[in-house]
Amino acid sequence: MGLRADGLATRSQDSLLPSSLLLTSDFWIRNNSYAHLMKAFLPCLTLLLVVPVQAASVISVGDGDTITVTEGANRIKVRLACIDAPETSQSPYGMASREALQKLLPIGADVTVRSKATDRYGRTVGEVLLGTTNINQQQVASGNAFVYWHYISGCDRQSYSRLENDARLRSLGVWSTPGGMQRPWDYRHKGKGVGSNLSVVSASSTGKYRCKDIRSWDQSQLLLKQGHSYLDRDGDSEACESLK
C-alpha cells in the first residue's frame, strides 16, 4: 500500500495479483530445494507410469521360463523376459530348470509381473517378482537359464551379465559342462525332437497336431512352446498329459 500525490492510498502491483498466484510463486521461491527434489524424482514417476505392473497368483509352471497366473478372473500365460531356459526335452537340465522354477514359485504364490511386451503367441513377456526377489534373475543366477541376449532390451543388462558370469565361473547347472550346454535357441532352431523325427498326422484344414500322434511328452511341450496352445486343454501349461 502506498500514497498518491493527492494523499489517497494506492495498492502495490503485487497486491493486484490473485492471492493464489502469489502463494504459489512464494511457495516455489521459498521451497526451491523441493522443486529440485521433484525434478530428480520425476524420472522414477515416469518409469512407474510406463512399465505396467500386474499383481497375480501362480497356478502352474510350464518350464524354466514359462508360468501361468491368474489376475482376477483372467488366466495369463507369462514368458519370463530376458532369459531362455533349456527345453524340457534337453535332458537333464530342461526338467531341472522347470523344477527349480517350481520351487521358486509354488502354486498359489502371489507375484508381481512387470509386463514388457506380448509375444507372437499371445503370452505376456515380463519380469516376475516374488516380494522383492526377481525370479528371472534367480533362474540365471542358479544356472537354470541363460540370459537371452537377443531380447535383453528392457532389462538390467549389467545385473543379468554379472549373474550369468558368476554362474558360469561356478559351473552351475547349464554351465556344468565347458562352455555351457547347447543353447535352447539353437536347439529350437535345429528342431531337435520336432519335425522329421516327430510322427504327426495334421488335419489338412487346420494344421493342428493331435496328442495321440505325438511320440513323447517332451515333444508335445516343444510344440506347446511353439504356440500350439490347443494341446494344453486344461490350461495348466502342460500339453498332452496322457503321454507322461
Residues 119, 172, single domain; the answer is yes
Closest CA to 88 of 209, 223, 232: 223
Percent of the chain with pLDDT over 90: 48
Residue 41 pLDDT level (bands cut at 50, 70, 90): low
Respond yes or no: is residue 75 known to be catalytic.
Answer: no
pLDDT at residue 137 is higher than 90: yes
Catalytic residue among 98, 114, 123, 238: 123
* 141-146 average pLDDT score: 98
Rounded to 5°, angle at Cα 160 from 125 and 91: 75
| Average confidence (pLDDT) over 228-237 | 80
Q: Is the pLDDT of residue 28 over 50?
A: no
pLDDT of 179 over the 90 cut: no
Q: Which residue has 537359464 as its cell numbers?
A: 145
Number of domains comprising the chain? 3
Q: Give the pLDDT band of residue 24 (cuts 50, 70, 90).
A: very low
Same domain, 166 and 226: no
Catalytic residue among 79, 98, 127, 164: 79
Residues 102 and 19 reside in one and the same domain: no
Q: Does 136 lie in the same domain as 86? A: yes
* pLDDT(30) > 90: no
Three-state SS for 15-39 is: HHCCHHHHHHHHHHHHCHHHHHHHH
Average per-residue pLDDT for the chain? 79
Active site residue 170: no
* For the ranges 22-26, 69-73, 222-226, the one whose mean pLDDT is highest: 69-73
Looking at residue 136, which CATH number applies to its domain? Answer: 2.40.50.90
Task: Specify the higher pLDDT residue, 206 or 159.
Answer: 159
Give yes or no: 123 in active site: yes
The arithmetic mean of pLDDT across residues 126-150, rounded, is: 97
Answer yes or no: is pLDDT of 177 > 90. Answer: no
pLDDT band at 211 (very low <50, low <70, confident <90, very high): confident
Assigned domain for 102 exists: yes
Clarify whether residues 97 and 153 are in a common domain.
Answer: yes
Same-domain check for residues 69 and 41: no
Tell me: the pLDDT tens digits for 145-175?
A: 999 999 999 999 999 999 999 999 999 999 9
What pLDDT was estimated at residue 22?
Answer: 42
Residues 83, 104, single domain; the answer is yes
In a domain, 4, yes or no: no
The answer to the question of residue 10 being in a domain is no
184 with 85: CB under 8 angstroms? yes
Residue 127 belongs to some domain of the structure = yes
Pairwise pLDDT comparison (41 vs 122), residue with the higher score: 122
Q: Are residues 149 and 60 in the same domain?
A: yes
Is 210 found in the same domain as 132? no
Q: Which domain holds residue 208?
A: 191-244
User: Among the options 4, 11, 30, 87, which is catalytic?
Assistant: 87
Which residues pair with residue 84 across a beta bridge? Answer: 146
Distance in angstroms (rounded) separating the CA atoms of residues 92 and 19: 74
Q: By 3-state DSSP, what share of the chain in percent is helix, strand and coil, each rounded to 5? A: 40, 20, 40
